[in-house]
Amino acid sequence: MAPPVLLSRSLDPLLGIFTGVFAYYLHETHPRTALSPEERLSALLRWKWAQHSESRKAHHRLPENTA
């Protein structure tokens, strides 16, 4: 017996991803559950990107006295 599918084998995962992203968007923007700007996903992503950029700069920085 084949597993039940809602639309098709390829559209079901896309529908699930869309539903999850939309639900998270509504959770962040709904007035009753609205998060402060520091707690939003965009702030976390900016912080992680800055941290990653700094670590890459420190890793790729050349030693100063290499003679």
pLDDT for res 14: 92
Q: With 90 as the cut, is the pLDDT of residue 5 above it?
A: no
Q: What distance lies between CA 45 and its chain's CA centroid?
A: 7
Q: Which residue has the higher pLDDT, 53 or 7?
A: 53
Instruction: Supply the pTM of this predicted model.
Output: 0.59
- How buried is residue 40: exposed, middle or buried, by Cβ count under 10 Å (0-12/13-18/19+)? middle
Q: What distance lies between CA 28 and its chain's CA centroid?
A: 13
Q: Give the percent of the chain with pLDDT over 90.
A: 39
